[in-house]
Structure 1
Amino acid sequence: MRAAVYHGPKDVRIEEVADPRIEQPGDVIIKMITTSMCGSDLYLYNGEVEELVAPGHTTLGHEICGEVVEVGSAVNRFAVGDRVTFPYSVSCGRCQSCRVGQTAHCLTSGKAIYGFGTAFGDLGGSHAEYVRSPLADDHLEHVPDSLPDDVVPFLSCNLPAAAIAVHAAEIELTDTVAVVGCGATGLLALDLIRRHTNATVYAFDPVPFRRKRAEVLGAVPMDASADAVDTSIQAVLDATHGLGVHKVVEFAGRGDAFDLSVALARPGGTISGGGVYLERDHPVSLFDMHFKNLRLVLNGFANAHTAQRHAMQLIENNVIDPTAVLTHRVSLSELPSAAEQFTTREEGFLKALITP
């Protein structure tokens, strides 16, 4: 089969690799119908987590709409021909972590993540014609007929992550809110937030076209580029009588974005961090957080399985249309060039749908 194989920083190649096979009785093999690129894929693409991957071996991707083409002998919930999706991480539903909703920390799977390298289970990714899904009965989900193929990959990561972060922020009707990071997941979160509050929502991002997207959704666009961010912070403080916003929902996943979130939050405010932080040595001001009495909830390693069915309902009930952030459609063979467009923040690029 063809798959996107990591060979080094910004060197992903579409190559012929061995087809996945049933390895355990609970496995299924899925044929990819559609998949997509997530912002967290760029950490691998750019070589920022080389200790996690095996060059020439690791295949990428963790979002999917697929068709079951083979089932293991112990699989009961799925049959050949079923249309399915999975959360980005594999979970058993029975271990101590899963029983308290921490499915991304499943003890049975060892925190296995599709397409995220040898350190996370060495599972093949969804940027391939076929993928093996272990513990299928426990974490795979049937896809309702009402959901089209181009919507389904959002259920693996983006939309559950957005819903989890918004829920954790506990936004009230009159709360002012700042969204930091207006990529695909941040914009989905912003769309949900507008349904929770009648107050002002500020959208911070350094990329102009992303701020324009946020403005269309009803937010006040704020420039988060290095030479403008201090002015933007002051504008929010001026508009909130020097206090800052009640809630911050962060999806940039960088140290400077976290610092911005702390600066924007008012005393007693909440920061709900949905970004994926990989910086291990970024200095954090405990002083500022302590003396502001901030409530901090981090959700970057999102327990997507716990929110996946809720995300389905949001789409089925026409609460949200995630394809609004889908800007590009490419074939698997075009994935390397699309990944380069994504990482350089080419004008107009938010998210790409990938077909075989």
Structure 2
Amino acid sequence: MKAVTWQGRRDVRVEDVPDPRIEEPTDAVIRITSTGLCGSDLHLYEVLTPFMTPGDILGHEPMGVVEEVGSGVPDLSVGDRVVVPFQIACGACWMCLHGLPTQCETTQVTGEGMGAALFGYTRLYGAVPGAQAEYLRVPQAQYGPIKVPQGPPDGRFIYLSDVLPTAWQAVEYASIPPGGTVAVLGLGPIGDMACRIALARGAERVFGIDLVPERLGRAGRRGVHTYDLTVYDDEKALVTAIRDAIDGRGPDAVIDAVGTEAHGSTTARLAQRASTLLPRRIGAPLAERFGVDRLGALHMAIELVRRGGTISLSGVYGGTADPMPLLTLFDKQIQLRMGQANVRRWSDQIMPYLTDEDPLGVTDFATHRLPLADAPHAYEMFQRKQEGAIKILMRP
């Protein structure tokens, strides 16, 4: 089959790889009909290369049709149409039963000290072959796949794999009070969808911050109060402008949908890049143990949120030696929540929004739909924020 493989920093290729097959009774094999390109994939393309191996199959946002089912998967049948969550979880361990499938005790990558295995996401998360391919082996298929109706286009449901539950959890963790306010840092796919969900769930005002005109315009058309970072002399001026719009107090919550590749942190950017250029046996331990994140977005969130408010992190951070302004966090009595999205915890709550009325605008959420063969171009375009690329779907 054809699959998108990682070959090095900023080097992905579409290659022939072996077809997947049933290996355990709880496996299924699906034929991919659509697969997403995620901002997290760009971390592999650019930052987390010390944890990759040439030939790794990328991708973790699939939907498709069941082709084969193991004997331990009673609720799936050949021909079922499914969306597959990005994490692999059993649904039966203590963590899964307590709504934390990202911490699944059956699939935890204990050798790396990490949580549940993920599709297509480095050796830290199990080096499981990913979903930017023609076919996908799905472990723990007795729990993971979400069956969806036949008929509506893939764009109605594919975001259940990652974008929708990640944005939903970001809003849930933000604890926005009824009629409250929230600022969203970064209006890429997750930030954009978090804005939509916050408005749909009753936030009075949503403030969106970015520096890409297409992203700002897209969010503004859906009722978000947008702020262009590039028109302010510094971040403090932007913080003041938003505070002034909320009685000088600041929003009840801030969602950081940017993460480790925040704009403007030159030293951290150079440190990240240096780790990708070192030999893997040296670069990987350095990146894992002494990684330096670009914390501009997080620091802005801490400055911006009102006293007693909540910060919700959905952007991925990877470093372990980062300076945190703990005094400010303590003094402002800020609540801080974060983590990979627990997809199956939220999927039943999200499904009622995926109706013909389409209140979240999922049907036209993708800005680009490309064949899988164009994956190298898709990665470059998305990484460089070219051609208005905000969300890209690929079809094998």
* TM-score, structure 2 normalization: 0.85
SS of match in other structure, 2:64: strand
**Given that residues 187 and 325 in structure 1 are in contact (C-alpha distance below 8 angstroms), is that contact kept between their aligned partners in structure 2?**
no
Report the CA distance shift for 1:146/1:163 in structure 2 as closer, same or farther (over 3 A).
Answer: farther
SS of match in other structure, 2:296: helix
SS of match in other structure, 1:307: helix
Between Structure 1 and Structure 2, how many residues are aligned?
A: 353
1:31: how far off?
0.6
Aligned to 1:24: 24
Report the CA distance shift for 1:304/1:14 in structure 2 as closer, same or farther (over 3 A).
Answer: same
CA distance in 2 between counterparts of 1:204 and 1:28 reads: 41
* 2:119 matches 1:114: yes
Flag structure 1 segments of 5+ consecutive residues without an equivalent.
none
| Residue number among 340, 347, 353 corresponding to 1:308 in the alignment | 347
* 2:244 matches 1:243: no
CA distance in 1 between counterparts of 2:148 and 2:104 reads: 23
| Residue number among 232, 250, 272 corresponding to 2:238 in the alignment | 232
CA RMSD of aligned residues (A): 1.7
**Given that residues 155 and 362 in structure 2 are in contact (C-alpha distance below 8 angstroms), is that contact kept between their aligned partners in structure 1?**
no
Aligned to 1:59: 57
CA distance in 1 between counterparts of 2:245 and 2:154 reads: 43
What is the identity, as a one-letter code, of the residue corresponding to 1:50? Answer: T
CA distance in 2 between counterparts of 1:221 and 1:187 reads: 11
**Given that residues 87 and 308 in structure 1 are in contact (C-alpha distance below 8 angstroms), is that contact kept between their aligned partners in structure 2?**
no
1:305: how far off?
1.8
| Residue number among 156, 160, 165 corresponding to 1:155 in the alignment | 160
Report the CA distance shift for 1:324/1:281 in structure 2 as closer, same or farther (over 3 A).
Answer: farther
SS of match in other structure, 1:194: helix
Report the CA distance shift for 1:164/1:198 in structure 2 as closer, same or farther (over 3 A).
Answer: closer
1:42: how far off?
0.6
CA distance in 1 between counterparts of 2:86 and 2:325 reads: 32
CA distance in 2 between counterparts of 1:304 and 1:157 reads: 7
Report the CA distance shift for 1:36/1:135 in structure 2 as closer, same or farther (over 3 A).
Answer: same
**Given that residues 155 and 364 in structure 2 are in contact (C-alpha distance below 8 angstroms), is that contact kept between their aligned partners in structure 1?**
no
Superposition map of 1:69-84 within 5 A: 69-84=67-82
Q: Which whole-Å deviations, capped at 9, do the CAs of 1:207-246 have from their partners, x for residues lacking one?
A: 1221111211112211234854332111112233332111
* TM-score, structure 1 normalization: 0.94
Superposition map of 1:262-301 within 5 A: 262-299=302-339, 301=340
**Given that residues 34 and 64 in structure 1 are in contact (C-alpha distance below 8 angstroms), is that contact kept between their aligned partners in structure 2?**
yes
Aligned to 1:256: 296
Report the CA distance shift for 1:349/1:267 in structure 2 as closer, same or farther (over 3 A).
Answer: same
Aligned to 1:145: 150
CA distance in 2 between counterparts of 1:292 and 1:38 reads: 33
Superposition map of 1:173-192 within 5 A: 173-192=178-197
Which of 174-183 and 3-12 deviates more? Answer: 174-183
Runs of 4+ in 1 over 4 A off after TM superposition: 225-228
